[in-house]
Structure 1
Amino acid sequence: MRTTGTKDAVSVLVIEDDDVIGRHVEAGLRSNGYTVTWTRTGGSGLVEARRLPTDVVLLDLGLPDMDGIDVARQLRDDHPDVLILILTARSEEIDVIVGLDAGADDYLVKPFSLTVLLARLRAHLRRRSAGPPGPSEPVRIGDLTVDITARRCRLGDREVELRPKEFELLAVLIKHPGEAVSRETLMARVWDENWFGPTKTLDVTMSSLRRRLHAAAASSAVPLALPEFTTLRGHGYRLEPPATQGEGADDISQTYPGDPGHSSYRL
């Protein structure tokens, strides 16, 4: 393990066992002003992430001691706000989905261009530093309340923990209830207007957001009025107010039926 870089730079932890790729990525990051810690195993990477302030993790999946997917899950559990970019030779769509669902923010297939890696990293950091735009007052639909300024989500009287991209996706949709929001708009506002990655990232994030809200609702002792996320195939998504009211949710009465040919998902 070694650390290189400048004081007060963005701190990047590289977990990569290939010496050629590791040196190439380390040199490229360092020359662009990042502080870099490079380690070659999943176990040592988890140790370094706990020991050092870490803003970004670049994670290989084919590690000698453990599968990178397990490392990604552990990193996400231990460090909810860290930015995780997977770098791997696994190129099948299911591998991408599993990686993103494990908590990664992006997925780059080897061999990759250092220029593209740096551009994606800048895009993620730019979005993260800007934060999602939004009103100062919390937005409530049914029993779901989202405070965009405070980055808090509540179902009824219980707070729901969301990953950064899940929250930002919800923040965009909840500001436009009943409106169709295109995939391009969601990718631009949640990721970046110059996004290089596959839009499958959006679908995986939406799926994870649905599961978290559904799990929170299922654990409630009282019925809750939940909005619906409607998938508009070939276009994007729409957040719709709930058709029924939960405990204390008397401020939303209008419903929006799903369009023919579209599939609706109750949270």
Structure 2
Amino acid sequence: MKPRLLIVEDDPNLGEILSEYLGLKGYETTLMRDGEEGGRAFKKAEFDLCILDLMMPKKDGFTLAKEIRATDDDTPIIFLTAKSMKQDIIKGFTIGADDYMTKPFSMEELLLRIQAILKRSIKKEEPFPNPFTIAGLVYYYQENRLITPKREINLTTKENELLKIFFENVNKTVERSSALKKIWKDDSYFNARSMDVYIAKIRKYLSDEPSLKILTIHGEGFKLVEVN
């Protein structure tokens, strides 16, 4: 898959040049014109890296980056700015930026910085075991199938994806927002309610195996635990 880049730049000429150039270099780009549009785009899809202009209408790059970091600590952020003031650079890194480029800049240098950041941040995913066994359960992710001590269950797509996340993170908290963005591509209120319904169904499936429980971690998300 092509790495996905979110570009938020209010200068239409620079935005188009960035999007076209990076597209030709093998990236899938989404271009937004202001901070509000950028925030909505980030909530709807997953990106491997964000390129944010600092001075934008409606919502500046600092504010957008703070909102991104409130729910996502991992997606790299590069700031673009016409400023070179030390306090702005410090503020950007304090918020959680990974890099900072002052306009005008070289497209080739930006490309090299993107490549370096992604090389550090994108981890190769290990193939999920098929089947995956835990306690008295046998789980076939590729077939959307769960076998418990009492029955065999054909899972819906969302049940299957949720169960995979829980099995990948046994005894670890699965953040609500992270799961919503990964499966529903949006952490809206209505999608959150939908996820709660699916988790209730998964809890019923796991009730066939008493040693496994899904706990609700208030204010954070959920945790699948093994009970001795």
Give TM-score scaled by structure 1 length. Answer: 0.45
Name the counterpart of 2:24.
Answer: 31
Alignment of 1:22-171 (within 5 A): 22-129=15-122
Q: Which has the larger radius of gyration?
A: 2
Return the offset for 1:67. 2.0
What is the CA distance between 1:75 and its match in structure 2? 0.9
Distance across 2 between alignment mates of 1:87 and 1:93? 14
Give % identity.
Answer: 36
Partners of 2:49 and 2:118 within 8 A in 1: no
Question: Is the Cα contact below 8 Å between 2:81 and 2:102 reproduced in 1?
Answer: yes
Q: Distance in 2 between matches of 1:105 and 1:91?
A: 16
Q: CA deviation at 1:130?
A: 6.0
User: SS where residue 12 of structure 1 aligns?
Assistant: strand
Q: CA deviation at 1:129?
A: 3.4
Offset, 1:127: 1.7
- 2:71 and 2:5 mapped to 1: Cα distance? 16
2:7 equivalent to 1:14: yes
**Aligned to 1:99, what secondary structure does the other structure show?**
helix
Q: Distance in 1 between matches of 2:40 and 2:72?
A: 12
- 2:122 aligns to what SS in structure 1? helix
Alpha-carbon distance in 1 for matches of 2:62, 2:121: 23
Separation (CA, whole Å) in 2 of partners of 1:26 and 1:61? 17
Cα distance in structure 1, aligned partners of 2:106 and 2:71: 30
One-letter code aligned to 1:18: D
Q: Distance in 2 between matches of 1:129 and 1:69?
A: 24
What is the RMSD of the two structures over their aligned residues, measured on CA atoms? 1.6
- In 1, the alpha carbon distance for the partners of 2:49 and 2:101 equals 14
Asked if structure 1 preserves the Cα contact closer than 8 Å seen for 2:6 and 2:42, the reply is yes
Q: Which amino acid aligns with 2:84?
A: S
What TM-score do you get using the length of structure 2 for normalisation?
0.53
CA distance in 2: counterparts of 1:19 and 1:107, whole angstroms: 20
**Which amino acid is the alignment partner of residue 9 of structure 2?**
E
Matches within 5 A, 1:161-240: none
Whose helix fraction is larger, Structure 1's or Structure 2's? 2
Alignment: residue pair count? 125
Deviations 1:172-227 (A, max 9, x none): xxxxxxxxxxxxxxxxxxxxxxxxxxxxxxxxxxxxxxxxxxxxxxxxxxxxxxxx
Superposed CA deviations along residues 25-58 of structure 1, whole A, max 9, x for unmatched, are 1011100110000001111111100101111100
